[in-house]
Amino acid sequence: MTKQHIIALDLDGTLLKDDKTISAKSKEVLLKAKQEGHIVMIATGRPFRSSAMYYQELGLTTPIVNFNGAFVHHPLDEGWGTYHTPMDLKIVKDIVEVSEEFRVKNICAEVIDEVYFHYHDESLLDVFSMGTPNIETGDLRRILKSDPTSILIHPDEEVAQKIRKYLSDVHAEVIDHRKWGAPWHVIELVKSGLNKAVGIQRVAKHYNIPAERIIAFGDEDNDFEMIEYAGHGIAMGNAIDQLKNIANQVTLSNEEDGIALYLEEVLKLNKAL
């Protein structure tokens, strides 16, 4: 085989097809990569509760990066360590105050598997109910008692950029913010300095794998650092243009088995198991 590589997979828009399933082809090739001794892992903005089913479906036995690097752990090995880096509660309350002034649709705070909504919201409840978290609704300045892992702000499209400018102007030293892909205009906040690359570096150090033997696949702006860090930073065919511009290569889309085709070629995997 070729030397052992880490294969880091974003979920939405990357490993997952648009219907949120993993194609049979992707599953087959990732299983083959594992059999050849490569390390397959997930690096996602999702919490663990809504990525665990894919972890199990692929039969993974590796650490996982959740919340864009704010939570990194090994689901099958408590001894590996749990790395949770939340935001400061006082700053979060200030951001809630300002978000109200922008008349946002909702604000959601997550503390690992606890979910707090500022306003009742059936559409977002559907999104966040996966994995049966504890859910509470009320003024976040009152009900939020712990430093949150992440904050999600759901504004109208026309004010999303104004909120991001405020966050950059006022809180750039303490928080990082990203925007979800279409059709959502959700702004996601984590503590400053966190990203998927930070989590993958921790995993790579554990396995003693250098950056040049890391293959990372992504499609959105929360994949920038991961794609830049990996020796093989691969943008999906459906990725945003900014990511394609910094990627080492662009593969086919998430609907066209882009991950599988790239891995077969670069890792010289036999097509058949």
- State the catalytic residues: 10
Using an 8 Å Cβ cutoff, are 164 and 105 in contact?
Answer: no
For residue 114, with 0-12 CB atoms within 10 Å meaning exposed, 13-18 middle and 19 or more buried, which class applies? middle
Q: Which amino acid is at 272?
A: A
- Count Cβ atoms below 10 Å from residue 112 Cβ, excluding itself: 22
With H, G, I as helix, E, B as strand and everything else as coil, classify residue 125. Answer: helix
Using an 8 Å Cβ cutoff, are 250 and 235 in contact?
Answer: yes
Residue 187 corresponds to which tokens in the numbers above?
A: 């702004």
Among residues 270, 241, 235, which one has the least CA distance to residue 13?
235
Examine residue 47 and say whether the peptide bond preceding it is cis (omega within 30 degrees of 0).
no
φ/ψ of residue 117, rounded to 5: -105, 135
Q: Residue 70 gets which letter from DSSP?
A: T
**HSE-up of residue 219 (Cα within 13 Å, Cβ side):** 25
In the numeric block, the tokens 């990569």 are attached to 33
- Tell me how far apart the alpha carbons of residues 270 and 154 are, in angstroms, rounded to a whole number: 45
Using an 8 Å Cβ cutoff, are 67 and 47 in contact?
Answer: yes
